[in-house]
A = this chain, B = another copy of it.
Amino acid sequence: MTLILTFLGKGGIARTKIAIAAAKLLASEGKRVLLAGLAEPTLPILLETSLTPDPQEIAPNLQVVQFQASVLLERQWEEVKKLEAQYLRTPIIKDVFGQELVVLPGMDGALALNAIREYDASGKYDVIVYDGTGDASGLRMLGLPESLSWYMRRFRQLIVNSDLGKTIAESPLIQPLISTLFNFNWTADNFAQPTNQVNNFLEKGKAALANPQRVAAFLVTTPDPIEVASSRYLWGSAQQIGVTVGGVIVVSSETNPNLTEEFSPLSISVVPDASTGEWRSLMDALPDFAQEALKAPKPIEVDTHNRQVRLFLPGFDKKQVKLTQYGPEVTVEAGDQRRNIDLPPSLSGKPITGAKFQNSYLIISF
């Protein structure tokens, strides 16, 4: 089982230093580590080596890869073309080359997430340390399985029952194309039993995200009050997409920056503001990531016995948290993140009988 470890926070260079130190620490403990970073110069400068879009070993147990969206897009495109050629009599896109394709907003995140998924599935790594954007867009990316699966739940039945859906189902061409690209059959029957591949793929992603032994984020901040406020905001936002935040890493020359109250109940590790290359002092100050992630509060707990759902939403006050039910599911809004809660059958569709926001927990009763 691979642990995917990532970091959230405003300070770009400090965050990358922590990611490198974490990767080095875990590799030194005998774990097989993949450090994955973005296509920009910080990671290669700090590692003092040029990076490639495929993993290369830079130390025992430690491989590094730099995600380049244009390369990842090229490779995905070749897969799509193969499928098209297999299913369509007159392929449309066969003459469009991956090497021409331009990256659109959002593709970076989706392609990186897919690459992480493949490295995860390869079984080659015990830990994948992902040094991403560390901000709200990074959270959108991690939340993709959850948010896409909501769109699937919400729209597919509407579309299948519609005139448009019927037209598609009757078309000799659109139906196989959709089946191929999205891996599901366009029939009401198939929609009714969500056992198809897309769903499995999204469900697998959701299950990984919900498991702190599989995905964990740590906050990186300085004691600067604005950075602390930003980190608290990211903490709450991470809970909204279901990612466990395992702890806080404070980069500071003070040994006790006294931020316990701001980040309670998380553990705080203080690391020195080390110069580039002084990895040892950073590594020595890092927490036991896997252990801390297990101890941290879970973003969501569904208690079917007491008919309660508890969401941990730190960093927000009561006014910033909204609970609504416009559609078929309960919607929770906080910090520009909206979450529709896919309840188990025993609670699904039941009316809300009460809700309170207490000690950073939103408690919904059914």
Contact = CB atoms under 8 A, between A and B. Distances in A.
Interface of A: 10-13, 38-42, 45-46, 68-70, 88-90, 92-93, 95-97, 99-110, 133, 135-137, 140-141, 144, 146-148, 150-151, 154-155, 158-159, 162-165, 167, 171, 173-174, 177, 224-227, 229-230, 232-234, 276, 324, 326-327, 329, 331, 333, 335-340
A100 B151 contact: no
A362 B227 CA distance: 40
Given A106-B109, A227-B13, A326-B100, A136 B92 contact: no
A336 B74 CA distance: 12
A313 to B, nearest CB: 15
Number of copies: 2
Nearest to A335: B39
Contacts of A104: 106, 140, 144, 147-148, 151
A327 B40 contact: no
A275 B151 CA distance: 45
A288 B10 CA distance: 28
Nearest to A324: B99
A158 B106 contact: no
Closest 6 pairs between A and B when the two form their complex, measured CB to CB: A106-B106, A97-B326, A105-B106, A39-B336, A105-B109, A100-B327
A148 B102 CA distance: 9
A302 B148 CA distance: 42
